[in-house]
Amino acid sequence: MAFNIELDTGKIRSLVGGNLVGSRVLTVQEVDSTNELAKRYFQDDAPEGMVFLAESQTKGKGRSGRTWHSPPGVGVFLSVLLKPAIPVAQIPQLALLAGVAVAKAVNTISPLPANLKWPNDILMNGKKLGGILCELVAREGRWGVVIGIGVNVNHRRDQFPEDLRELATSLYLENNQTTDRTLMAISILEHLDQEYRDFLQSGMAPLVKSWTRLTGMFGKPVCLTHANESISGTAQGLDERGRLVVRMEDGQQRAFDSGEVTLRRE
Ligand code: BTN
């Protein structure tokens, strides 16, 4: 199989079209950012569950103002517009939900497993395989959430910027085989649909359990940067709201609702 074969929009539509996530599917060759595209469609009344996929992004966005390098034909770059009737404070939980969906999707396709690093990094062999950027959109008193997902699928090493080559990876680099991006996108959307329905019906408890099963970080030493503060301690688990509980060096526990985590060497 040619590694950069195009996404098959027809197949994606026919497999996820009846779902809540996948109510409409729009694929474009190139866009600034699928998150920005989704936000523009939200202003035009796009339906809940609409999916935006791009072959490449010219201004792909990562967390904390970083760039998400998005070369053509090798990644999955997608955004989903959701309009859940939940308090705004619960939005970070949707990012955890998306992480679970992506990790499960990768694990159905990849011989090597993916795991999660809080809040929403997808790792393989300790390197970054994918990430999630959740953004709030509002219009005339109504709001929605754009969940942006990027997965490095068939990237060769030289398709990452030099400064990321030791930190980032792709399914190709880890498994030494190409992966069908259409199947990867379909699997992500199907898992997202399932996790979203479960979350709306059953809330956080099952999600915290799934997330915990998919991470390798609990019990490990971490460094967490939160609001200009740098905290060292041991990652203990998620609390019932999805916050990261860290036991600090003085023995006290604190729960964090946001931050950047680095795993420290044991
Ligand atoms: C991170 O920094 O880990 C989050 C990366 C999120 C990247 C995805 S790619 C599709 C969507 N569009 C964007 O501009 N960003 C997200």
Sign of CA dihedral 106, 168, 204, 21: negative
Q: Which domains does the chain have, with CATH numbers?
A: 9-213 (3.30.930.10), 221-263 (2.30.30.100)
Q: Which residue CA neighbors atom 10 of ligand 1 most closely?
A: 77
Question: How far does the centroid of ligand 1 lie from the alpha carbon of residue 149, in Å?
Answer: 5
Transcribe 86-133 into DSSP letters: S-GGGHHHHHHHHHHHHHHHHHHH-SSPPEEETTTEEEETTEEEEEEE
Find out whether the beta carbon of 113 lies less than 6 Å from any atom of ligand 1: no
pLDDT tens readout for residues 38-72: 999 999 999 999 999 999 999 999 999 999 999 99
60 touches ligand 1 (CB under 6 Å): yes
Q: For residue range 210-239, what is the model confidence (pLDDT) as tens digits? A: 999 999 999 999 999 998 899 999 999 999
Is the CB of residue 131 below 6 angstroms from any atom belonging to ligand 1?
A: yes
3-state helix, strand, coil in the chain (%, to 5): 30, 30, 35
Q: Which residues on neighbouring strands pair with residue 230, listed in sequence order?
A: 225
Q: Is the CB of 79 under 6 A from ligand 1?
A: yes
pLDDT at 1: 45
| Binding site membership of 62 for ligand 1 (Cβ less than 6 Å) | yes
The identity of residue 238, as a single letter, is L
Q: Which of the listed residues 117, 149, 258, 260 should we mutate to test ligand 1's pocket, taking the one with most ligand atoms within 8 A of CB?
A: 149
Q: Six-digit token pair at 136?
A: 């709030």
* CA 49 centroid distance within chain: 16
